[in-house]
A and B are shown apart, each in its own frame.
Chain A
Amino acid sequence: MSCRGIEPASLFRRAVGLGVGRAATPAELDDVLAHMNARELRYAIPVAEASQPAALASWLEARGFTRGYAWMKFCRACDDPPHVETALDIRVVGRDSAAAFGHVVAEGFGLPPPVAPWVGALAGRPNWICVMAFAEGVPVAAGAVHVRGDHAWLGLAATLPSHRGHGAQGALLARRIAEAKARGARVAVTETGERLPDKPSNSYRNILRAGFEEAYLRQNYLSPATPG
């Protein structure tokens, strides 16, 4: 997947699924790199310790890839969703709130305007549950959960800068776990950046408070500055 003009590469330009479920081969890796290099933009290839084969990381390093900012993967059972007290109004939103949902996510992440209608299109989309936090009727935070089978992925969690530090994300995490459980999910999955001394760790703390456990660290290998 590759989006032009939106950063970071580790989020918007990456080859996902390589070495998951079965071992990648050098030929497959080179085919992926050729495909991504053709875009002439820097991109990322995530690799975890369990990615197959174990040599995948060294293959990337031999091709000029460098370690970027790793992500921690978290999971938890959907049983017994946390209960979070909040003064905010937490609501599942549909298509009529697409613009507001897209705006809050884009603004909260500091992403460019084209991202807003894209992300907004998830509101009311099958398998997606979009949840927003409102302060006195004004949307201030958002998050989504995608449910497929017995696993649910939580992502796109953002709070407007003016309303950070008021517990919105904790409440949104709790509601999304509950919504995922109600739709048959048994396991909730999410991720955020690795906890490092020079990086903000609010999301990391919120995820742990919501009952998630650290599963594994996944390194983002970044392509050479000028791919190809």
Chain B
Amino acid sequence: MAPYDFAKLENAEFDACIDLYRAVPEEIRVARRSRCTRSAPKPA
């Protein structure tokens, strides 16, 4: 299916990871993500 959009492929994984980390139990959470990468909505 080339050509692909690099940023869109990366962001598909990135979006899933961000939401996955919103579900992390507190006991294993030490940080959600770096503040230096793209901004994301605050966890619900």
Interface, chain A (partner B; CB < 8 A): 1-6, 15-18, 20-21, 28, 31-32, 35-36, 39, 48, 50, 73, 75-77, 114-115, 117-118, 121-122, 125, 127-128, 146, 148, 151-153, 155, 187, 189, 191, 213, 215-216
Residue of B whose beta carbon sits closest to that of A16 = B14
Cα distance A39–B30 when bound, in Å?
8
Is B38 part of the binding interface, using a Cβ–Cβ cutoff of 8 Å? yes
A151-B9 in contact (CB<8A): yes
B1-22 with Cβ < 8 A to chain A = 1-2, 4, 6-17, 19-21
* Main DSSP-derived SS at the A contact region: mixed
Could you tell me if B17 and A213 are in contact, using CB atoms closer than 8 angstroms?
no
What is the CA–CA distance of A66 and B33 in the complex, to the nearest angstrom? 21
Q: Are A20 and B15 in contact (CB under 8 A)?
A: no
Q: Which 6 A-B pairs have the closest CB atoms?
A: A146-B16, A151-B12, A17-B37, A50-B6, A153-B16, A121-B23
CB distance from A148 to the nearest CB of B (A): 5
Q: Quick one: which of B15, B25, B27, B36 contacts A35, CB cutoff 8 A?
A: B36
For A188, give the chain B residue with the smallest CB separation. B12
Residue A1 contacts which of B2, B21, B27 (CB distance < 8 angstroms)? B21
